[in-house]
Chains A and B, each alone.
Chain A
Amino acid sequence: MCALLSSPAEEAVSAGVADRGKAAYEARCGACHSIDEDRVGPRHAGVAGRRAGSVPGYAYSDALKRSRVVWTEATLSRWLESPESVIPGQRMGYRVGDAEIRADIVAYLLTLP
């Protein structure tokens, strides 16, 4: 099915982005986050399409709990660029200023089952 939708070259490019994204994720997000464990921040498995502040058992800020943001490519990118502008009152002060690195991280996050 995938082969019908994209060429091998496109798939190779996509895989490269995901690899870069994984490395960027580990370097930039790995201090606080894991894929499948809540740490300083909540786990990221299945983040695509999930409503913000909805990982069971994680102690979110009130701002996240009240938020109606759903995590998509666009909202994740805006969040990583400036969390406070997306959900005022949230607790994540970290920003990814480099647009290319941000895009790689988002691409990786969207692959997480």
Chain B
Amino acid sequence: MTQSILSHRRHFLTRSGQAVLSGTAIALLAGGVHAENVIRDGAGKALRVGSDAAAGDVSILNVALGLEHEAINAYQLGAGSGLLQKGVLEVAVLFQSHHKAHRDALIATIEKMGGRPVQERTLAEYAAALKADTLKSQGDVLALAMRLEQGASNAYLGVIPAFKTSALGQVAARLAADEVMHYTALAGALGRALPSGALSFGA
């Protein structure tokens, strides 16, 4: 059953894999963020780049970037674990490529706003933080990935009200949509029930 679900997901994801963000798409994602026309306060008044408001937005984006660094490394640990079957490995690598595109988009946005992107840590540091040594089966790897994707979905939705730059809310929502897609596919692969109620994300 699980294999069948995964196979179906993989078929869909393989066909949609070409939708991974290109360099152009990344530029478009970050493209709405211009100091002169988007950094605005609640009343629509333009804020100066380098102001506390813009710095706050950059801080939030850097936390998001930290999440993406961790997700990329989590999938790397899964891919290198030897625990994943071929088809599952392909999906994991696809999801990792999404996170790499997110990372690149966030770095471009942070730099465009005059900030300094947070640096990736070592794979060993991520392995320790995520307790990679406890992963003993494909199910363990997928469960970790599902938990991280669910957390990331909520994280992106949860920061939207904090942005002073309106365009960043849409960026976060688009990133959240990808994470929910990953979460849903992983839940299906694991045979886990999806949330029964509506509006279960971002509350």
Q: Which residues of A contact B (CB under 8 A)?
A: 26-32, 34, 37-41, 61, 84, 89, 91-98, 101
Secondary structure at chain A's binding surface: helix, strand, loop or mixed?
A: loop
Task: Identify the closest chain B residue to A92 (Cβ).
Answer: B63
Q: Report the minimum CB–CB distance from B95 to chain A (whole Å).
A: 15
Q: How many angstroms from the CA of A27 to the CA of B52 in the assembled complex?
A: 30
B203 within 8 A of A: yes
B-chain residues with CB within 8 Å of residue A39 when the two chains form the complex: 70, 129-130
Q: Report the minimum CB–CB distance from A31 to chain B (whole Å).
A: 3
A40 pairs with B131, CB closer than 8 A: no
A-chain residues with CB within 8 Å of residue B155 when the two chains form the complex: 31-32, 94
Secondary structure at chain B's binding surface: helix, strand, loop or mixed?
A: helix
> Among B56, B130, B151, which residue has its beta carbon within 8 angstroms of that of A93?
B56
Interface size grouping (class) on chain B:
20 to 34
B198 within 8 A of A: no
B-chain residues with CB within 8 Å of residue A84 when the two chains form the complex: 56, 162
A32 pairs with B66, CB closer than 8 A: yes
Q: Given the interface contacts A39-B129, A97-B161, does A91 sit within 8 Å of B154 by beta carbon?
A: no
Residues in B26-83 with C-beta less than 8 Å from chain A: 52, 56, 59-60, 62-63, 66-67, 70
Task: Identify the closest chain A residue to B61 (Cβ).
Answer: A93
Q: Report the minimum CB–CB distance from B170 to chain A (whole Å).
A: 15
Q: How many angstroms from the CA of A24 to the CA of B78 in the assembled complex?
A: 25
B154 pairs with A31, CB closer than 8 A: yes
Q: Given the interface contacts A32-B155, A34-B129, does A93 sit within 8 Å of B147 by beta carbon?
A: no
